[in-house]
Structure 1
Amino acid sequence: MNHVTDAVIKAFTELYGAEPDGVWAAPGRVNLIGEYTDFNDGFVMPLALPHTAVAAVARRDDGVLRLHSADVDGGIVQLRADELAPLGSGSGGWAAYPAGVVWALREAGHAVGGADIHLTSTVPTGAGLSSSAALEVVTALALNDLYDLGLSGDRLAVVAQRAENAFVGVPCGIMDQTAAACCTEGHALYLDTRDLTRRQVPFDLAAHGLELLVVDTRVKHALGDGAYAERREGCEAGARALGVAALRDVPYAGLRAALESLGDERIRRYVRHVVSENHRVEQVIGLLDGADPRAVGPLLTEGHVSLRDDLRVSCEELDLVVESANAAGALGARMTGGGFGGSAIVLVESSASASDTVTKSIETAFAATSRTAPRIFRAIPARGAHRVA
């Protein structure tokens, strides 16, 4: 066991008076390509990060659910499993995510009683790296093991998404939870969000002299509140207007005709983004399968322009990352996640001079505009949720 696991076990024991039954971990994720496509039955391509939510958990058979976070002040939250009810408002704080998983498992007919849970996480919150999905999936995996539910990773992802959609009240797609549950080390996950078929795609940028940087802008704008749901509603309206089940069913070759048939300019923009973004995912897959990851760079930038201009979910800080990185010689860059702040990704040559030049360009641009310095780190494809002790 490593020092993190030892510390989590020690903290659990001090909190609850006995050692946990085990310790589990689930990662955050960064999305290489495929943004705002998962709730349109489209294609996505996330990879897991080394940053994880870690849970020490003990089963209880009295229906009591006790939750504690090392990262949030407030002590132990105590609930009853049989009294959990959806919040439906995006409120409830951090405890709503693990509590929602218990509710979703029970609603699905699984005989889950109580548990003592102690959580800690190194996934940055508010950075668009799916800290909430990591909390959900690590809880789901722990309960799956402790209650012998026998659920596969993709089914745990569905449970976790159900918790966030119906219990917490956030209308997210399935990508984040599937990435946390199903990614494998050294790979990106090519996921069809309609039927949940997936393929692990080798993602060894170092072998090609490349690296992927994650730039956490450390900002989250209030404009993003409710904007995700509004984009989802607009995409669903577009699908209805075009007579398809989801925008995934609009072929890229037929995009121009589809746009010409729509009268609402906002809906046209949303449709154009989703259909073109699905096409970009397919292009990236082809390039990675053809061992040509350098050519992915321009598609990242193209995706950012679409997110900025058509979906309008970017912000000044994200645009500044993309512009300053590309001006300094990056191969491509784009925002990742829900937008209005959070993080961007940047594809760069892995030589010290190239990577340092791009990093310094981003930091200088933020300093010149009196913004908080961004947090910049390499994205190293990590494994999905697993038991660690």
Structure 2
Amino acid sequence: MSEVPTDAEAAARAVAAFTDRFGAAPEGVWAAPGRVNVIGEHTDYNGGAVLPVALPHTTRAAVARRDDGRLVLASLQHPGADAEVAVADLAPGDPGGWAGYPAGVVAELRESVPGGLSLLVDGDVPAGAGLSSSAALECAVALALRDLLGLDLGPADLVDVARRAENDFVGAPTGILDQSASVLCTAGHALYLRTRDRRSEQVPLDLAAAGLALLVIDSGTTHSHAESGYGDRRRECEEAARRLGVDLLCDVRDLADLAPLDDGDERGALLLRRARHVVSEDARVREVVALLGGGGDPRAVGPVLTAGHASLRDDFEVSVPELDAIVETALSAGAHGARMVGGGFGGSAVALVDAAATDAVATAVTERAGATRSFAVVPSAGARRLS
């Protein structure tokens, strides 16, 4: 993957592109990062814990106000696919495609933008790779509107605006993990977020000091939350919770308490597998946080990551052969642990590797498992204004 631009370089590119498209400079440029989850997959909408880090890769939004009531959207990553609609006419599905994500944010705040907006998007978060490119776009726009329009929105409000845009406007039934990571993460840390009550803390994550790296590996198999089986998994979790008589699966802390789901029929067996992943994954998040905070060797996190992949593959059934091959190849090439990340049905994997072995593992997954690209993650800053 090409080198990530500095904030100054990214802002200058966005300003130039906006000026070329709209004939005048924007009022500002805002950025929000993608994320990779160290551990904690499909726990967020079940009220459980997550542990993401922000990527150095960001999506940028250059924005200016208009006076004609129109929303005009352009993207350097989607040339020729501009969208224009009256702010008053915004509705789920109109506009669709990439433009639905920023439009959904504007729709959430439409009462504050009667004059309309010109908005140009640029970025380098890989799309469809399980790295939350959609949340990065939503959060960059939400932050831009807050600052530009002087709205009284705190970090949690920004997360909610962005999540509702994805849930209600785009139609992807995600939890709050992606948007929370994009807004709340800080450089050099992982975000330990308990999604039920939204308590969070920053967990120091200096892998370089331990001679380690977290390698993100793109399978090249794209996915979409709105079109994949993500919604099915969420409904299965909700059904399992109802059968167990709890509000959310995070209320179950002991795997033995899932026994009532095993009632002898096929549906009960499926729900047991789904719930077993969520409960065990929640426990894995707590285990990784304890390992990172205990002063021991972070290499001990590796087997926990690998166990998480097995659970996602076998119990939650959201992995694909391409991701399984990447995980197996990374482990055979010397990774301390590896797992798929994101909602599943494609996307990326992560591998915890010795820094000195990063190139060797990257070469192995490319040559033997068909990975399309890989890069080492540095825990980076959350959403911010660039200019």
Q: Which residue of 2 aligns with 1:306?
A: 311
Q: Deviations over 1:82-108 (max 9, x none)?
A: 1111239xx8100000000011123xx
> Quick check: 119-128 or 286-295, which moved more?
286-295
Do the aligned residues in 1 keep the contact of 2:130 with 2:223 (CA within 8 Å)? no
Do the aligned residues in 2 keep the contact of 1:112 with 1:147 (CA within 8 Å)? no
Matched to 1:170, the amino acid is A
Using the alignment, how far apart are the partners of 1:165 and 1:223 within structure 2?
Answer: 10
SS of alignment partner, residue 48 of structure 1: strand
Q: Which residue of 2 aligns with 1:375?
A: 373
- 1:305 Cα deviation after fit: 0.1
Using the alignment, how far apart are the partners of 1:187 and 1:82 within structure 2?
Answer: 41
Q: Which residue of 2 aligns with 1:157?
A: 159
The correspondence of residues 120-139 of structure 1 with structure 2, limited to 5 A, is 120-139=122-141
- 1:62 Cα deviation after fit: 3.6
Say whether residues 1:358 and 2:366 are aligned partners. no
Using the alignment, how far apart are the partners of 1:190 and 1:222 within structure 2?
Answer: 25
- 1:182 Cα deviation after fit: 1.0
Given candidates 236, 239, 242, the residue that maps to 2:241 is 239
SS of alignment partner, residue 340 of structure 1: coil
Q: Which residue of 1 aligns with 2:148?
A: 146
SS of alignment partner, residue 320 of structure 1: helix
Name the CA shift for 1:241/1:145 in 2 (closer, same or farther; >3 Å).
same
- 1:254 Cα deviation after fit: 3.8
SS of alignment partner, residue 141 of structure 1: helix
Q: Which residue of 1 aligns with 2:51?
A: 45
Do the aligned residues in 2 keep the contact of 1:241 with 1:262 (CA within 8 Å)? no
SS of alignment partner, residue 322 of structure 2: helix
Do the aligned residues in 2 keep the contact of 1:102 with 1:112 (CA within 8 Å)? no
Identity of aligned residues (%): 53
| Gap regions ≥5 residues in structure 2 | 1-6
Using the alignment, how far apart are the partners of 2:308 and 2:54 within structure 1?
Answer: 20
Using the alignment, how far apart are the partners of 2:91 and 2:223 within structure 1?
Answer: 29
Using the alignment, how far apart are the partners of 1:277 and 1:137 within structure 2?
Answer: 26
Q: Which residue of 2 aligns with 1:329?
A: 334
Using the alignment, how far apart are the partners of 2:53 and 2:105 within structure 1?
Answer: 23
The correspondence of residues 169-184 of structure 1 with structure 2, limited to 5 A, is 169-184=171-186
Name the CA shift for 1:86/1:256 in 2 (closer, same or farther; >3 Å).
closer
CA RMSD of aligned residues (A): 1.9
Name the CA shift for 1:306/1:75 in 2 (closer, same or farther; >3 Å).
closer
> Quick check: 245-254 or 270-279, which moved more?
245-254
SS of alignment partner, residue 126 of structure 1: coil
Q: Deviations over 1:209-266 (max 9, x none)?
A: 1110000111126999330000000000000000000000011254453544685111
Matched to 1:12, the amino acid is F
Do the aligned residues in 1 keep the contact of 2:71 with 2:84 (CA within 8 Å)? yes
Do the aligned residues in 2 keep the contact of 1:297 with 1:331 (CA within 8 Å)? yes
Q: Which residue of 1 aligns with 2:325?
A: 320
Do the aligned residues in 2 keep the contact of 1:64 with 1:78 (CA within 8 Å)? yes
Do the aligned residues in 2 keep the contact of 1:112 with 1:143 (CA within 8 Å)? no
Matched to 2:134, the amino acid is S
Q: Deviations over 1:93-134 (max 9, x none)?
A: 00000000011123xx65664211010110001100000001
The correspondence of residues 156-305 of structure 1 with structure 2, limited to 5 A, is 156-220=158-222, 225-252=227-254, 254-255=256-257, 257-260=259-262, 263=265, 264-292=268-296, 293-305=298-310
State the aligned residue count: 378
Do the aligned residues in 1 keep the contact of 2:49 with 2:192 (CA within 8 Å)? yes
Q: Which residue of 2 aligns with 1:63?
A: 69
Name the CA shift for 1:215/1:270 in 2 (closer, same or farther; >3 Å).
same
Q: Which residue of 2 aligns with 1:388?
A: 386
Using the alignment, how far apart are the partners of 1:155 and 1:291 within structure 2?
Answer: 35
| Gap regions ≥5 residues in structure 1 | none
Do the aligned residues in 1 keep the contact of 2:222 with 2:347 (CA within 8 Å)? yes
Do the aligned residues in 2 keep the contact of 1:48 with 1:183 (CA within 8 Å)? yes
Using the alignment, how far apart are the partners of 1:23 and 1:51 within structure 2?
Answer: 15
Using the alignment, how far apart are the partners of 2:362 and 2:123 within structure 1?
Answer: 26
Matched to 1:182, the amino acid is L
Do the aligned residues in 2 keep the contact of 1:47 with 1:189 (CA within 8 Å)? yes
Using the alignment, how far apart are the partners of 1:162 and 1:223 within structure 2?
Answer: 14
